[in-house]
Structure 1
Amino acid sequence: MNARGIPGFLGGALLDLLLPPRCHICRTQCSGADPLHICDDCTAQLPFITEPFCSVCGVPFSATGDSHPCGRCLTDPPPFQAARAVFTHTGSCRDLLHAFKYAGQAHLRRPLGLLAARTLVSFAGHCRADLLLPVPLHRARLRSRGFNQALLLAELLSRHWQIPLQRQALLRTRPTVPQMELDRNARLHNLNDAFAVASPALVADRRIILVDDVTTTGSTLRECALVLKRAGAAAVFAVTISHAP
């Protein structure tokens, strides 16, 4: 009998025996019991964001102490209620995201999405969200890349958090230069009028969690949240995999 004829658990065990899973980071063999497929040593070295961080935008602080709003959020409050990221955008996290986003390794959405689902589950519960919305790509970028990384992550988060996913409520109306290719000043203006809501009825009076892969200056999340609030969203939150330090 081949693996397809064996019930799921036994079939998976047989496949792990024949083709042992390898850590996505160091490529050593690791246990197939955890679907992350990241070994314990590499997991321990991932740059998880811990307190203190900005209690509004989620930017990590280098000092010690309690979480509190950062200077920017005090002087220029964002249109979203709160945002959180799992990691600082450094080291192995950055490498995984680059492979996922730019090297076509879409399977990496699983470990990245699972880490986000586990780490930010309390935050998601606090949001009491009605919908998850992925940050959209312009159709030209989508054709070039072949997938929207934010949508792939949002699909997994939707399943784990049991929050409905709305794929097309938020639209990208014009192509933009990738944020990471710009300096801070250019990033702040690059996304002006780049997003629109397909129909206000899709978001009106809803509590929404935006999903994206990386937060740099926060301009993308701010612009998306502003458009959603103008369309009548009751509250907007955001989650990303990483945040630039």
Structure 2
Amino acid sequence: MEYMKAFKNLLFPTRNTCYFCRQNVQIIEQFICDDCRAYLEEVHKEVDMDSIYMEKAYYALIYSRLARDMVKDFKFHGKSYLYRPFGEIMMETIKEHSIHNNIHIIFFVPSHRRKEAIRGYNQSELLAKYISKSFNIPMSNNNLIKTKHTKDQNKLSKQDRLTNLDKVFKLKNRDEVKDKNILLIDDIITTGTTMIQCAKILIENGAKEVRGLALTSSKKI
């Protein structure tokens, strides 16, 4: 029994444990201790996406070494609980730009079913659920889907990025998006193409406006 309790605490940090470094601390804010927070640079930046499908996107953190390592742990190393501190940071971006005042529904960038089965979860969906619940904004579930397994955008040339995601996203129910202002959630903006391709499908199916929100961006924007 004690073994199972210790194992659970390892996977899911307790209330007084920093979700990044796992140290027990007396004072903690947004699940992160002051020492770890000192290595994070919050910018809550607005970005011009230069697309007819998505004019604006936002990201919360500079892509620092700590941010990069934590995102990799979140995506690839099973640390799904990191959606809590990351969600809290992204919520500050939403508040700073008053994004929540004009959003009808939240979507997230979908993963292909094969990749999600291997990983066990979609990190963007976890973030979207946390933000949806916190702001009491409805979240779409399994409406926007990815129908084709693709290569990672950051491993491709600029030209290949444009074709890699062509016609891989599909919307199953257009009534959910008609005349709606949509917030599209992802963990990281790498090239911007993924968000724009998702927004393209949403706009073409009747959405009024799509804005993007990511935790961080490895793109120089």
* Same fold per superposition (TM over 0.5): yes
Q: Could you tell me which amino acid in structure 1 is paired with residue 157 of structure 2? A: D
- Between structures 1 and 2, the one with greater strand share: 2
1:29 aligns with: 24
1:3-22 pair list within 5 angstroms: 21-22=16-17
Q: Would the alpha carbon gap of residues 234 and 20 (structure 1) be closer, same or farther in structure 2, given more than 3 Å must change?
A: closer
2:169 is aligned with 1:203? no
Query: Is the 8 Å Cα contact of residues 104 and 145 (structure 1) preserved in structure 2?
Result: yes
Residue 43 of structure 2 aligns to a residue whose secondary structure is: coil
How far does residue 50 in structure 1 lie from its aligned partner after superposition?
A: 5.7
Q: Would the alpha carbon gap of residues 172 and 22 (structure 1) be closer, same or farther in structure 2, given more than 3 Å must change?
A: same
Query: Is the 8 Å Cα contact of residues 18 and 28 (structure 2) preserved in structure 1?
Result: no
2:205 aligns with: 231
Residue 99 of structure 1 aligns to a residue whose secondary structure is: helix
**Pick aligned residue for 1:99 from 65, 73, 76:** 73
Distance 2:146 2:172 in 1: 10
2:174 is aligned with 1:179? no
Larger radius of gyration: 1
2:34 is aligned with 1:45? no
Number of matched pairs = 207
1:158 aligns with: 132
**Pick aligned residue for 1:190 from 144, 161, 164:** 164
Distance 2:16 2:157 in 1: 40
2:142 aligns with: 168
Query: Is the 8 Å Cα contact of residues 58 and 214 (structure 2) preserved in structure 1?
Result: yes
Identity %: 30
Residue 191 of structure 2 aligns to a residue whose secondary structure is: coil
Q: Could you tell me which amino acid in structure 2 is paired with residue 235 of structure 1? A: E
Distance 2:61 2:172 in 1: 31
How far does residue 126 in structure 1 lie from its aligned partner after superposition?
A: 5.9
Ranges in structure 1 where 5+ consecutive residues have no aligned partner: 1-15, 58-72
Question: TM-score, normalised to structure 2's length?
Answer: 0.85
How far does residue 127 in structure 1 lie from its aligned partner after superposition?
A: 5.9
Q: Could you tell me which amino acid in structure 2 is paired with residue 241 of structure 1? A: L
Q: Could you tell me which amino acid in structure 2 is paired with residue 30 of structure 1? A: V
How far does residue 37 in structure 1 lie from its aligned partner after superposition?
A: 2.5
Structure 1 window deviating more from structure 2 (184-193 vs 234-243): it is: 184-193
CA RMSD after TM alignment: 2.1
Residue 120 of structure 1 aligns to a residue whose secondary structure is: helix
Q: Deviations over 1:36-74 (max 9, x none)?
A: 2211132132032266x64x23xxxxxxxxxxxxxxx2x
Structure 1 window deviating more from structure 2 (204-213 vs 125-134): it is: 125-134
How far does residue 32 in structure 1 lie from its aligned partner after superposition?
A: 5.6
Distance 1:108 1:32 in 2: 18
1:114 aligns with: 88
